[in-house]
A and B are shown apart, each in its own frame.
Chain A
Amino acid sequence: MPGDAALERLRREGRIVIVGASLAGLRAAETLRKEGFTGSLTLIGDEPHEPYDRPPLSKQVLLGHATADRTALPRRTALDAHWRLGVAATGLDMAARKVRLADGDEVAYDRLLIATGVHARPWPHEAEAALDGVFVLRTRDDAARLQRRLAASPRRVLVIGAGFTGSEIASACRERGLAVTVAERGAAPLVGALGGVVGRVAAELQREHGVDLRCGITVTALEGDPAERLRRAHLSDGTTLDADVAVVSLGAQRNTEWLAGSGLGAGPRGIACDAGCRAFDFRGIVTDDIFVAGDVARSPHALFGYQFLSLEHWGNAVAQAETAAHNMISSSSERRPHLWVPAFWSAQFGVNIKSVGVPSLGEELVVVQGSLAERRFVCAYGYQGRVIAAVSFDGTKWLEFYQRQIESAAVFPPEHSMVDSRPEGLRPVPAEFPDPSLPTHGPTVTVSGYSPTEQRITFTPARA
């Protein structure tokens, strides 16, 4: 059949281009070679470094146990690839099947994989962000700079945002004996990912380890001295805080700007794709030669009501890259869906935090094992009468069991008895996620009224 012949030729002598030379890009390249792709393979990355691992950057590297320039990922197979590193992709011509590069070059492809990931959300005020002592932590170079500064014993570190990265940074600082203040707009650390019930445990953990944790507060300005070195921060409660290092940990933004005007369905929330990792164009039609994987992808998940999930998870980058690579060189009947159950971990303040499923979908939770007070527990999250997620603090061994519960749509609250279950935990309580309809970043402005004279602008300040 002609289709088979074309696919065979693609596998033998086609041109595959991968934009994004991090975990997802590397694993996709390895999978392509392992599955017998012998054509030309090009990896494009905007950083000058070969693919490296990010999780150690906020833990081992900040603690000084490992160096940032030695976090390169192991190779499972020889890639025989053309590497274009230190040069960003700047555009995509879907019709001509070409990727444009920052150095003016163009790279032609038969199949394209986009794995450009995310970048750290910068501090919104440019001049303040440029002060000496203000950092973000996403890349290897960020980690090297921050670890050098921490090693120089700053008097106080301000961490802005108590998500996973911010909390891990605070943990590393305390372990190094540095004074740390954490400013978090929400009611508790990790509240967006795990909800208020578990967030309160994270808050106790931070305070117990000597973190000056301030919740319900935002940083309104960063102030420098005449030499442009960070000196203090102004907070939304009217107070000021002297600090010589600030780490902006306000989450991530997807790297899709380079696709503006390309016709691909790419935007601030990522690149929408089908369950087989094929990208949608902006009309909602699936492409057959452009695939996406990793943090930048948004794909529908059958287990979670076919919701489009965008996950910044290490395991997702690996699994989605392998699926995308397989599908890129397979006929339609051999393609596989990306059905990986979301899972992530964090290590902070000596506690191993792990999660499976999608906790933020949870309406209620029960403490199924252990107890919150002991900070050693497993919580199951429920959504419409079924188990949708589980989170453990130092309870890793149980998570596989809950993963099966999620996969089999087990009843919530669980009816069976479990090892180390306590009577006080077994009543479901609200999981206390922040109301998603309320703005989380910056104020909003709404316009009402019809005629120009009637129109009224309402300013809603960001909720503290």
Chain B
Amino acid sequence: MRLVVDLNRCQGYAQCAFLAPDVFVMHGEESLLYNPHAERAQRDQVMRAVAACPVQAILVDDPDDPDDLGAPDAPDAPEGESGTGSAVPVGEGLSGAR
């Protein structure tokens, strides 16, 4: 699932990092890093984070319409089969990376 955080809105409450630590991590005192592409297995965690965000800054693909993740809109396969897909993956979750 694709997600984006409006970091203008984000005030560093860290609820997301608490509820979905594989996707969201605090970086320093109050800035947030997140993985913009969460795995299906992380969906429940992410949805809890979306609901808990006090400023509603997290946007994910419409959960009621999970099969509409682009197709037929999306020109690429959403799973990233394009030619530049060889960037070194350091684990899917942020917590695995550091």
Contacts and interface: CB of A to CB of B under 8 A. Distances in A.
Q: Do A and B make up one complex?
A: yes
Given A50-B75, A56-B36, A61-B87, A394 B80 contact: no
Contacts of B27: 347, 350
A172 to B, nearest CB: 11
A53 B6 CA distance: 11
A443 interface: no
A148 B76 CA distance: 22
B47 interface: no
Interface in A55-106: 55-56, 59-61, 63-81, 83, 85
Interface string B1-24: 111101110111000000000000
| Chain A interface bracket (under 10, 10 to 19, 20 to 34, 35 or more) | 35 or more
B44 interface: no
Interface string B77-98: 0101010111111100010011
Contacts of B4: 53, 73-74
Interface stretch (A139-147, A328-336, A453-461): A139-147
Contact of B31 (A147, A151, A347): A347
B10 to A, nearest CB: 7
A220 interface: no
B80 A70 contact: yes
A74 B78 contact: no
Contacts of B89: 67
Contacts of A63: 33, 97
Contacts of B6: 314-315, 318
A49 B78 CA distance: 10
Contacts of A408: none
B interface: dominant SS: loop
Interface string A131-170: 0000000001101110110010000000000000000000
A56 B3 CA distance: 12
A396 B54 CA distance: 14
Most buried by A among B4, B76, B85: B4
A18 to B, nearest CB: 13
Contact of B80 (A56, A65, A67, A351): A67
B87 A67 contact: yes
A258 interface: no
B28 A394 contact: yes
A344 interface: yes
B30 A144 contact: no
B30 A396 contact: yes
Nearest to A82: B73
Contacts of B94: 60, 65-66
Given A68-B87, A72-B2, A74-B2, A49 B97 contact: no
A343 interface: yes
A48 interface: yes
Contact of B85 (A60, A67, A147): A67
A262 interface: no
A206 B11 CA distance: 24
A347 B62 contact: no
Contact of B84 (A60, A69, A394): A69
A229 to B, nearest CB: 20
Interface string A342-370: 01110101111010000000000000000
Given A72-B78, A148-B87, A397-B11, 20 more contacts: A48-B82, A50-B74, A56-B34, A60-B35, A63-B33, A64-B97, A65-B90, A67-B87, A67-B88, A68-B87, A69-B87, A70-B37, A71-B37, A72-B70, A75-B62, A318-B6, A345-B7, A354-B8, A396-B12, A397-B12
11 contacts: A60-B34, A65-B94, A65-B98, A66-B37, A72-B36, A75-B70, A314-B6, A344-B8, A347-B31, A352-B28, A394-B30
Interface of A: 48-50, 53, 55-56, 59-61, 63-81, 83, 85, 140-141, 143-145, 147-148, 151, 314-315, 318, 343-345, 347, 349-352, 354, 376, 394, 396-397
Interface of B: 1-4, 6-8, 10-12, 25, 27-37, 59-62, 65, 68-70, 73-76, 78, 80, 82, 84-90, 94, 97-98
